[in-house]
Amino acid sequence: MKKISFSFLLAALASPVFAGVLPEYAEPELLVRVHLLDTYNLPPLTYLSNTSPAINNHGDVAIKLMAVDGKPNQAIWFKAHNAPGEVIYVAPDDHYVTDPTVNDRGQVTFSPFNDFESQGVLAYDSHSKNTELKVSGPENQIAYAGYAQTLNDGTVIFRNFAKDYDRSFVEYKDSYVTIAREGERRFDTPAAYLFRPAVNEKKQWAFKVRLGEHGEISDAQSDQILLIQAKGNGDYEKTIIAQDRKGDPNSNFVGFGNTVALSQNGMVVFIGHLPDKRKSLVLYKDGELQSLVTEGLDGISELELFTPRLNSSGTVAFRAKNAKGLRGLYVANEFSVKRLLGEGDSIMTDKGFGYVLLKKDFPGFAGDIDFNEKGELAFACILASPDDKIIGDAIYKLSPK
């Protein structure tokens, strides 16, 4: 079991050498706002709900709409960094659509589905303005294609929830390749449950897996955080980044959050549950584990269980609550932690200054955040006016100066 270093972080934070390592950020840029008939950059009567925006390394952003232009159909909206935004896809009646992803070629990937099956994985090309079916749902017995993305080389990645109710990790380019499947043993790992994966351009996969035979998914089973990469001929190199105490009595962790992040250079970040009931944001780098943030330190009272994001500089973006219990957006690296924006903070809107909603038992932020190699962060929040009236749901981009 890898040794996790908590003392190094405290020493680093105390050293003036590392002061100011994290960048300063400019004022957030408003991309869209919706509130009934009163909208900005979207048609009237368009709705957002727990939206998780996606951003690529050019600063292009894609989001899911829960309804658009007074119609109940879910839809996808896309904005290139140098062009106005537009609705690029509207789901058929009685269908839903997954949250999109967007790669550096400007391809927006998503999957329409209904209560019975997935249509498959679609990709919209922002240059040609065409939408292409990448993987057929009916032909491949896909009930739900989750976390779909198209890599820059055209490979499609997703977690298949099949009509037989088992999940599998899939790569599709010239052929349909199953990386892992529940109820099977791949790379010497018996997978009872496969959680949300993170995949980079090198086709490394990082994910949490519940160990066991088919159907053994109770909390009595041990969990691992794995990093795998194909070696060719169907073989994979596997690294066990962490395992809980159910499988390794010497582990620092009694459990993990359900999601991980993976950088393009193979670093992994995850949330570890500690024996004293606190949570820690943990970075895997160069074969070692290091705590970046632990509840009760650095003014953070709680790490929210949304997916953290990680870029190749080792900077992590995440959601957390401060000592007052107010939700906020943070960045951290090996040396420091910085709060960027939180509930009750002033923010510029299309209607002048407002603030991120501050209301007891009502979150001011929504969904997952996304984060790119430049340190740009996309997020969803709820806006309020200076006189405490809600003025809508909004998507913003936050960029370093």
Task: Name the residue with tokens 């990448």.
Answer: 134
Q: How far is Cα 53 from Cα 30, in angstroms, rounded to an integer?
A: 13
Going by pLDDT thresholds of 50, 70 and 90, the confidence category of residue 136 is very high
pLDDT at 285 over 60: yes
Asked if residue 16 has pLDDT above 90, the reply is no
CA distance 155 to 313: 25
- What is the structure's pLDDT at 117? 95
> Which region among 11-25, 75-89, 156-170, 259-273 has the lowest average model confidence (pLDDT)?
11-25
> Which residues have C-beta within 8 Å of that of residue 331, sequence separation ≥ 6?
22, 315, 316, 317, 318, 337, 338, 340, 375, 377
pLDDT in tens, 27-80: 999 999 999 999 999 999 999 999 999 999 999 999 999 999 999 999 999 999
Tokens matching residue 399: 């960029």
pLDDT at 238: 97
- Type of residue numbered 137: G
One-letter identity of residue 165: Y
Average pLDDT, the chain: 94
Q: Residue 13 pLDDT more than 90?
A: no
Considering the entire predicted model, what is its pTM?
0.93
What is the 8-class DSSP label of residue 217?
A: -
Q: Tens of pLDDT along 163-217?
A: 999 999 999 998 999 999 999 999 999 999 999 999 999 999 999 999 999 999 9
pLDDT band at 20 (very low <50, low <70, confident <90, very high): very low
